[in-house]
A = this chain, B = another copy of it.
């Protein structure tokens, strides 16, 4: 029955004891009602079913950002969330107390897509969670 026995460990520091990358990805895949092989196909072979299985069972510690990106796009979830769970970045400082002056003007020239905006927001979150 697998059991998995809390074989979690965590690449860097689990800290908040969040749900692991593997379990997270597995739960999402099930929610999307996709089989391992379906993901393999839809990802244009970027992620093999064998490999995804290992990731979901926690046998792979840190899949490459390529892989994570493929899954993020396929599942339509935030890449940064995966990057954090994979231990590429540390969600250490809760909030930068630094000085911030509202500057938005620059982005006016960029004509953002809705998706682009969403991704930028995600990335902003990501930026603020790492940084020393």
Which A residues lie at the B interface, using CB under 8 A?
65-66, 88, 96, 98-104, 106-108, 110-114, 116-117, 119-121, 123-124, 127-128
**A96: which B residues are within 8 A, CB to CB?**
113
Given known A65-B88, A123-B123, contact A103–B128 (CB-CB < 8 A): no
Closest residue to A125 on the B side, CB-wise? B110
**In the bound complex, do residue A111 and residue B116 qualify as a contact, i.e. CB atoms below 8 Å apart?**
no
Q: Does A104 lie within 8 Å of B107, measured CB to CB?
A: yes
Q: Which of B107, B113, B127 contacts A107 (CB 8 A)?
A: B107
The reply to whether B99 and A113 contact each other, CB–CB distance below 8 Å, is yes
Task: Give CA–CA (A102, B117) in the complex, Å.
Answer: 10
